[in-house]
Chain A
Amino acid sequence: MDQKDREILSLIRHTKLKLDSEDFEQRCMHLIDKEAQLDRRPSIYYKISGWCYLAGLAVCVAIILLSLTEKPDELMRQTVLQSFVIGAACYLVIQVKTHLHHLR
């Protein structure tokens, strides 16, 4: 490879193109703002459902503690089932809402 060939190759360093569409940055930021909004919503739902889940568990634990003398096995089974149902319902609601937001 001679000097002239090296010169040709070195010119590639100066071939950067320009993206000069006037509103390109605006369009991009608009899309990014939408993405940012989508990001914020699921975390709020997770927080709300998390508190609901804890509240449900707290109620179940209270029932267990107050009714320890009455059929404890059946009560335990019922409260565990109730906790699970509350948690599963919250989780499903979040998944559906998140999926719907992403589709939009």
Chain B
Amino acid sequence: MDGEVLKVEKLNAYFNDFHAVKDVDLSVNYHEVVALIGPSGCGKSTFIRCLNRLHEEVPGARCTGNVWLDGQNIYGKGVDPVVVRRNVGMVFQKPNPFPGLSIFDNVAVGLRLAGVTKKSVLSEAVEEALRKSALWTEVKDKLKKPGTGLSGGQQQRLCIARALAVKPPVILMDEPTSALDPISTAKIEELIVELKNDVTVVIVTHNMQQASRISGRTAFFLLGELIEYGKTSKIFTKPQNLKTEQYITGRFG
């Protein structure tokens, strides 16, 4: 599929008086992996949280602008954030399986609470999601065990499976490997590249190598502004903006 699955227009995000994201325009194509890089506090996390309308759940947070998801404005009139979020999944920095829920229930919960009750449908969806997140072989014999009992890396893949289970066309990832060891990180990176066949991934990362390994395009944020957005291969060999150059070569921090 060609074209833009996400198109962000003049997005501004605020926490009370703090202007966290400033006038950002950015588009993401179908089946693309886009990495967002930039120093801490540059607004990249806030930015992706505007893409599934999670930003507004924080007290004092608001945003303006338009975000077109597959041609529809998610900030349009009468849009239900709940429905938006069903179509734009999210994986967080810290692995956060739901406590007290089994591995199976963790993955099934999204569908179940969306009204799917048929056992066969659920277990099929759970298996598919766990296979896609490369966790199936590791957990297929202990689906009833609590999700919190898995290792950090497995938990994060469980969270990816949980997000995949509701089959959103877009998945946002907010530093999904920053709490993981290198092996788990490598597994998740592999997974993201695989996922590209099914979904579009927008990933925030502090790991420049990660951005360069897995993404097709990279966006560099600084102080709430989108400084440069372009092909990852270009950003990491000859960025157009001096600030990008200085950031990725570690000349300021």
Q: Say if A and B assemble together.
A: no
